[in-house]
Structure 1
Amino acid sequence: MAEHDHTHPHTQPHTHAHPGEAAPGDGRWKHDGVRVIPGDRLDPNTAQTPGMFRQAAINAARVGAQKIWAGTVAIEPDAKTGVHHHGDLESVIYIVSGRARMRWGERLEYVAEAGPGDFIFVPPFVPHQEINASTDEPLHCVLVRSDNEAVVVNLPDVEAVEPPETVLWVDPIHKRP
């Protein structure tokens, strides 16, 4: 058995695989490795409802993702959700264009707005309401969730500060109140 030269560790090729790791040259990662999903090839094969256009980029069906969901969402002007939370899911919203308003808290007593380039983090179990803050411009976002499962818990006993009206933001996550 040959010994490795420990004085120059970078000169020795890595020739063995760790458990669960592909051996060099075995081709495993060619189809099970990094995936690029072009922006013009997102999957609109999700529930489509008035006020919102949602497309999946990363999910179990498209790339085999087990712990994350990512996609885009376009929300019509003045669209609002009812009050809800997403269980133990974490969500990140990146604002591409438009203006988002978030209300949160036991009585939606807190409010913040976000614009292009801003990120919004929604922790688990936080009661909140998502709002397109503009009455005349669409809101375009990238959405990432910490799981593939769509979890929503509507909170009908919490009166929305900005009642859902005009166009509801309804999708598999945000059900019609």
Structure 2
Amino acid sequence: MVDAQDWREHGVRVVRAGQLDSNTPQTPGMSRAAAIDAARVGAERLWAGTVTIHPDAKTGAHHHGALESVIYVLRGRARMRWGEQLEFVAEAGAGDFIFVPPYVPHQEINASSDEPLDCVLVRSGSEAVVVNLDIEPVERPDAVYWVDPLHREPTGDE
């Protein structure tokens, strides 16, 4: 059993907003900052941080190796492109979650011309893995809609 002193030194950790570490792998077009990782808090199975993309900016194509990623949109409008040629596209707004499976080539785009896109990132490993790719973006990406019993594909009237 762990005694109270161990919990004090190895228990809950708070990383303040001003303590985020921007010395983490970057992708052109965005600014990442780590909050939770192995080095900062001793995390063993996850990485968490923030990302900001300036108005009208887009990131370079990249993936995160074997890691799963979750992106939570705090503010702004995210346009995600993914696929071998970034041929698929979907958008998410404030309050939406985005899931990116392992090895999926993707690109984040700020769909707003006047508001920054601010997101929280969480990944399934404790180290920051970023593999930047040299992919030519497509002219006309295919829209992909979340279609299930609760969500139907837009008809164009919406």
What is the TM-score with the length of structure 1 in the denominator? 0.68
2:45 match: secondary structure: coil
5+ residue gaps in structure 1?
A: 1-16, 163-177
Per-residue CA deviations over 1:20-56 (Å, capped at 9, x if unaligned) read xx1xx44211110111223343334557898543322
Residue 90 to residue 50, structure 1, CA distance change in 2 (3 Å)? closer
Return the offset for 1:76.
0.8
**2: distance between equivalents of 1:49 and 1:110?**
20
Structure 1 match to 2:34 = 56
Residue 82 of structure 1 contacts residue 160 of structure 1 at CA under 8 Å; is this kept in 2?
no
**1: distance between equivalents of 2:65 and 2:49?**
19
Residue 38 to residue 68, structure 1, CA distance change in 2 (3 Å)? same
Structure 1 match to 2:62 = 84
Residue 92 to residue 48, structure 1, CA distance change in 2 (3 Å)? closer
**2: distance between equivalents of 1:89 and 1:40?**
26
Higher mean Cα deviation, 29-38 or 118-127?
Answer: 29-38
Work out which of the two has the higher radius of gyration on C-alpha atoms and give 1 or 2.
Answer: 1
Residue 102 of structure 1 contacts residue 113 of structure 1 at CA under 8 Å; is this kept in 2?
yes
5+ residue gaps in structure 2?
A: 140-158
1:28 match: secondary structure: helix
**2: distance between equivalents of 1:103 and 1:48?**
18
| Corresponding letter in the other structure for 2:54 | E
Report % sequence identity.
71
Structure 1 residues 24-173: aligned runs within 5 Å: 25-46=3-24, 51-156=29-134, 158-161=135-138
Residue 27 of structure 2 contacts residue 130 of structure 2 at CA under 8 Å; is this kept in 1?
no
**2: distance between equivalents of 1:67 and 1:77?**
33
Q: CA RMSD in A?
A: 2.4
Residue 98 of structure 1 contacts residue 139 of structure 1 at CA under 8 Å; is this kept in 2?
yes
Residue 112 to residue 39, structure 1, CA distance change in 2 (3 Å)? same
**2: distance between equivalents of 1:124 and 1:48?**
18
